[in-house]
Structure 1
Amino acid sequence: MNFSRKNKATNITLLISAFVIVSLILWNTNSFFKKFKEEERLKMEIWATAQLELIQSSVDQELGNLTLKVMGNNTSTPMILVNEEGSFKTHNILEERASDSLYIQKKIRQFASENEPIHIVQEGELLETLYYGNSEVLNKLKFYPLALLLIIFLFGAVIFFFFRTNKASEQNKLWAGMAKETAHQIGTPLTSLLGWNELLKSEDINPDITKEIAKDITRLQTITERFSKIGSIPELQEHDIVAETERAYQYLKRRSSKLIQFEFGSDVDHLPVLLNPPLFNWSIENLVKNGIDAMKGKGAISIQIEQKGANVNILVSDTGHGIPKSDFQNIFNPGVTSKKRGWGLGLSLVKRIVEEYHKGKIKVLSSNKEGTIMQITLKTNV
């Protein structure tokens, strides 16, 4: 509990620190932008003064070297100079657009919205008005905070998904470890049961009893084998998908309520597929049991096998209450269940067995109030 609180406090501290750092960066960037804009304004005012000297020099004096240098030094800020008659001159604007009056009028409005125009006045008389826009550097700087936020967001997303994936990996290791430990713990009493059953066979008792015990022991051995394979890469061998599916079907049929109607069908008699039978049968059993639970113990279960080119589809359908379309993907996540006492692990195990171990696909093919069809797709070995 203390570790959890410390971890939570650390996360909150890191979150606050990140917020403060981002705020400081944005504030400094904004301050730098304003300062740069003020300096650009001062540069334009100096240029306007040089322009006034140019106008005066054409009347009563020669133009000084400093004025010429100021006039020619601005090569980045776009400008439009408009005189009292409405004529205009452009600076740092593409030549092919400088003669387009509609484009220039649009630019004048844009520049006026970006920066306050500078009026060139001589003895109280307005001679010209200087409209100027933001330089290329200033425009890039304007989008720098957005780019910075985007980078921080992407960096945060990468960290989030890294820790989330790492956490999921740790959880998978935990479940795999628990499964292997369960298989190990079952193994000891299972060995004893085998011995006790052999001893019972030597006694004068009904042989049907020892046969049923042997079936249950075989079932426990199958369960142990399944749990021992969770978390490790199982060995796949060529098996008949029709026979393996029917084997799981027959086992469930014999042990289910008489209120459940079972149906099995296949459009092929034999179809080789790379399988791990214990895990594959576990998947079929989980799907059928889910269907029985959805029907509340009364209805019809159907298993159909269809060959589709290089693939084979195993369709498990029930006449239960159905699954909302919004949950078609969520039901395969660990912990998601509609049962009051369910753990929500059955379908997540099926997905792992089918997709990770057998490189196949599983999905909800269709679902409504009249029932659900689950589809497993595997590659054939023909």
Structure 2
Amino acid sequence: MNFNPKNKSSNIVLLIASFVIVSLILWNTNSFFKKFKEEERLKMEIWATAQSEFQQSSEDADLGNLHLKVFQNNTSTPMILVNKDGSTKTNNMDSEKELDSLDVANLIKRYSQVNVPISIDQQGEHLATLYYGNSEVLNKLKFYPIALLLIIFLFGTVIFFFFKTSKASEQNKLWAGMAKETAHQIGTPLSSLLGWNELLKAENINPEVTKEIEKDIDRLQTITERFSKIGSLPKLDAHDIVKETKEAYDYLKLRSSKLINFSFDSQVEHMPVLLNHALYHWTIENLVKNGIDAMKGKGDIAIEILPNGKNVCIQVSDTGHGISKSDFHAIFNPGFTSKKRGWGLGLSLVKRIIEEYHDGKIKVLSSSKEGTVMQISLRIYAS
């Protein structure tokens, strides 16, 4: 989250501007709807007047033709004319079936609620009552604001996800650049350490000392290789998943507290999988270290390899405090961490390594107060 006050103010201004624009659109649409409804009312009053004049002067041929044109031009507004003798006449009805008296009564009731009926009078005498509904155009216009708001919402959603994706892409590039720069920076002192170690060997220093230095140098080279591969597609080769997992396991076992009980079990002796050696070892180390942190340095860590059809599953379990079910997916998001210290990048990198680079899957298989089981699924390589 960006806490920059300037950006926060800009967001508030943008939100207010959006609200004002939407309000103006709704107000304008409502005004247009009312005006259109008033014009339709005026049209119906003209029709009613023409009907009244026509009934009184039907013998005048020219006047009758004028009225006839008024009647013929009104083809969109549904109406029911109830004469003083109770007879009814319907016009502009979309229904294909013939309307019975009950249908007409229901329509009259509905039209009365939509529009005020027009009384047709002539010289103080009541001739008929006109009931009318909204035209098809007016009915469709009622849904225009909803459609407009939906379009605005969809447009805003597209823009939101576009900027969110762009921001995530920029962050990924930044992390990748930082990782590569870190690998580059480590490379210079690492080369010097190699040289100094060779000088120590020439000075007849205790071989055990130089041997341990070499191990640390190898470790630094491994770390450098890992960081250099972030942000670029690594090369995958066929490796034995059992052997690779056991190597990462043994390395961590030798360098972990004696209060941690390690166990390793595999239901297969050999299983070829396309892997990147450095990144896969990094994944196992991250999962094991997370388990150790969850147990606060004391408990059981178990690694088990199980065949599962065309896939092989690597399960890493611990006896830590567990993970809330609501956080099963969130723990893989960058920045998510339950530790007081930490960047929350370990599991997000693990997810990227497994799912993006190795086309596999990683998930929290189960978790409770007794511990957590993380599972990696990788496709078996068929040569």
TM range (shorter): over 0.9
Q: What are the superposed Cα offsets for residues 153-174 of structure 1, whole Å, 9 maximum, x if unpaired? A: 1111111111111111111111
Over 3 Å counting, the alpha-carbon distance change for 1:86 and 1:256 in structure 2 is farther
* Paired amino acid for 1:161: F
1:167 maps to what in 2?
167
Does residue 290 of structure 1 match 2:328?
A: no
1:253 maps to what in 2?
253
Q: Offset of 1:100 from its aligned partner?
A: 3.8
* Paired amino acid for 2:175: W
Q: Distance in 2 between matches of 1:176 and 1:356?
A: 14
Q: Given that residues 97 and 103 in structure 1 are in contact (C-alpha distance below 8 angstroms), is that contact kept between their aligned partners in structure 2?
A: no
Report SS of the residue matched to 1:300: strand
1:44 maps to what in 2?
44
Does residue 304 of structure 1 match 2:304?
A: yes
Q: Distance in 1 between matches of 2:221 and 2:103?
A: 84
Does residue 353 of structure 1 match 2:353?
A: yes
2:16 maps to what in 1?
16
Report SS of the residue matched to 1:344: coil
Pairwise mapping of residues 1-382 of structure 1 onto structure 2 (< 5 A)?
A: 6-57=6-57, 64-382=64-382
Q: What are the superposed Cα offsets for residues 93-150 of structure 1, whole Å, 9 maximum, x if unpaired? A: 1353442444333332322222111122344443322111111111121111111111
Alpha carbon RMSD of aligned pairs, Å? 2.0
Identical-residue share of aligned pairs (%) = 75
Q: Distance in 2 between matches of 1:79 and 1:38?
A: 16
Q: Given that residues 81 and 89 in structure 2 are in contact (C-alpha distance below 8 angstroms), is that contact kept between their aligned partners in structure 1?
A: yes
Q: Given that residues 90 and 98 in structure 1 are in contact (C-alpha distance below 8 angstroms), is that contact kept between their aligned partners in structure 2?
A: no
Moved more, 88-97 or 329-338: 88-97
Gaps of 5+ in 2: none
* Paired amino acid for 2:206: N
Q: Distance in 2 between matches of 1:89 and 1:183?
A: 89
Over 3 Å counting, the alpha-carbon distance change for 1:264 and 1:37 in structure 2 is same
Q: What are the superposed Cα offsets for residues 278-328 of structure 1, whole Å, 9 maximum, x if unpaired? A: 111111111111111111111111111112111111111111111111111
Q: Given that residues 265 and 305 in structure 2 are in contact (C-alpha distance below 8 angstroms), is that contact kept between their aligned partners in structure 1?
A: yes
Moved more, 283-292 or 136-145: 136-145
Moved more, 47-56 or 354-363: 47-56
Q: Given that residues 361 and 378 in structure 2 are in contact (C-alpha distance below 8 angstroms), is that contact kept between their aligned partners in structure 1?
A: yes
Q: Distance in 1 between matches of 2:85 and 2:307?
A: 85
Q: Distance in 1 between matches of 2:163 and 2:176?
A: 20
* Paired amino acid for 2:270: H
Q: Offset of 1:372 from its aligned partner?
A: 0.9
Extract structure 1 runs of 4+ deviating beyond 6 A: none
Q: Given that residues 273 and 380 in structure 1 are in contact (C-alpha distance below 8 angstroms), is that contact kept between their aligned partners in structure 2?
A: yes
Task: Give me the TM-score of the superposition, normalised by structure 2.
Answer: 0.93
* Paired amino acid for 1:278: A
Q: Offset of 1:10 from its aligned partner?
A: 4.2
Over 3 Å counting, the alpha-carbon distance change for 1:103 and 1:256 in structure 2 is farther
Report SS of the residue matched to 1:338: coil
Task: Give me the TM-score of the superposition, normalised by structure 1.
Answer: 0.93
Gaps of 5+ in 1: none
Moved more, 173-182 or 310-319: 310-319
Q: What are the superposed Cα offsets for residues 53-87 of structure 1, whole Å, 9 maximum, x if unpaired? A: 343346x7656111111111111111122234544
Q: Distance in 2 between matches of 1:322 and 1:124?
A: 88
Report SS of the residue matched to 1:269: coil
